[in-house]
Structure 1
């Protein structure tokens, strides 16, 4: 019985420390500041709406661009997405719909100087919000996001920044990882086997008497 109580206590401890670890996305500025991701994002031009859909040139799955204002695909080939009125002021969210992203590169083509910050959802970077980054109206504001995994990133433009389009999206799809039981799950399995063994051990043998 003492051994059973010890196992119960160990399981409780493991349950308390089994929360998954998180990893922060690293952001770097400028084309070539990180290894270029493998897959180009492609969109269909001239289809307006609050969501613009796209595909990858060499990997399965789809992507989407969403905002509270109407968007439009501006080029076939490497994705360029902007507002229908040609001035993107509201947050733009880029999402990979079929898994997680392990690296992402894109360019913000700004009309006016200002700042942008990024919010990540999904993966081990879920909930991460970055500090402000400068964007200038020179047409070249490349950003790379890597290290952590995520399913979507929202870019919010502040301090007077307006954007012509966001484009030249490339990404790496994070490999699927098989589910591994958490330590608490293993502990509870061990506890269950121990309880079964304890009950079998405590069971009194049945003596059968056969009369001639």
Structure 2
């Protein structure tokens, strides 16, 4: 009878775990069309000028200048370039026939994810933009379609319920983007910088020196000297 009780308890526990894992989780990701810039922790800037980046190539964005932390990586199926060093402007490359109809981003470097992001999408011939965003693994994705107008089109992407935005994609509908720029974000967590190998070497030598001095002092303290 005891064995039957144990077997029943195990089966009940397994069933509860299976139910938990199979239950869908709502993707709490909100994207809205806004009028202005707002206030954010970081303005995304480029440390280097990128020219005619091949499809799938990476464009690295930094927070508040070249000396700031690397936070976000951009990729595309198109050939892309960036504007002059400084403010982030992503546009079609000169060798890609003017095609710019998708842009993906992902948290990278020091950022584990984002709580909010702002993008300004300027249209060339596209009439709409579809945004697909991914938050924490169990929360899945969300898709939203917006109309585009001439000039600036600011979009604010926000995660709720303590979730983090991990990645996302903008896809042009009916044509191409002219540029995506004025990218700003709030990073959820900034990882501490990893010391350079030379720094590690100096630290190890320092610890070894402190240990050696302590050892010598202890040795002198226990030595019997006869005068």
TM-score, normalisation: structure 2? 0.66
Which residue among 150, 167, 192 is the counterpart of 2:165? 150
Matches within 5 A, 1:90-169: 90-98=101-109, 99-124=112-137, 125-130=139-144, 132-138=145-151, 140-148=152-160, 149-160=164-175, 162-169=176-183
Alignment gaps of 5+ in structure 2: 191-227
Q: How far apart, in 1, do the equivalents of 2:180 and 2:99 lie?
A: 9
Kindly indicate whether the alpha-carbon contact (under 8 Å) linking 2:102 and 2:172 is maintained by their aligned counterparts in 1: yes
Kindly indicate whether the alpha-carbon contact (under 8 Å) linking 1:88 and 1:165 is maintained by their aligned counterparts in 2: no
Identify the residue that residue 9 of structure 2 maps to in structure 1: 7
Matches within 5 A, 1:55-94: 55-57=62-64, 60-85=69-94, 87-94=98-105
Q: How far apart, in 2, do the equivalents of 1:106 and 1:128 lie?
A: 17
- Structure 2 CA distance for partners of 1:116 and 1:173, relative to 1, 3 Å: same
Q: Which has the higher contact order (CA 8 A, sep 6+)?
A: 1
Alignment gaps of 5+ in structure 1: 177-212
Kindly indicate whether the alpha-carbon contact (under 8 Å) linking 1:113 and 1:137 is maintained by their aligned counterparts in 2: no
Identify the residue that residue 27 of structure 2 maps to in structure 1: 23
Tell me the CA shift for residue 11 of structure 1: 0.8
Kindly indicate whether the alpha-carbon contact (under 8 Å) linking 2:126 and 2:172 is maintained by their aligned counterparts in 1: no
TM-score, normalisation: structure 1? 0.70
Paired residues in the alignment total 172
Kindly indicate whether the alpha-carbon contact (under 8 Å) linking 1:126 and 1:150 is maintained by their aligned counterparts in 2: no
SS in 2 for 1:75: coil
Identify the residue that residue 199 of structure 1 maps to in structure 2: none
Q: How far apart, in 2, do the equivalents of 1:67 and 1:6 lie?
A: 53
Tell me the CA shift for residue 3 of structure 1: 3.6
Tell me the CA shift for residue 136 of structure 1: 1.3
Kindly indicate whether the alpha-carbon contact (under 8 Å) linking 2:104 and 2:169 is maintained by their aligned counterparts in 1: yes
Cα offsets for 1:24-80 (capped at 9, x unmatched): 3111102349x6331111112243313322212286443222112211111333311
Kindly indicate whether the alpha-carbon contact (under 8 Å) linking 1:39 and 1:56 is maintained by their aligned counterparts in 2: yes
Give the aligned CA root-mean-square deviation in angstroms: 2.6
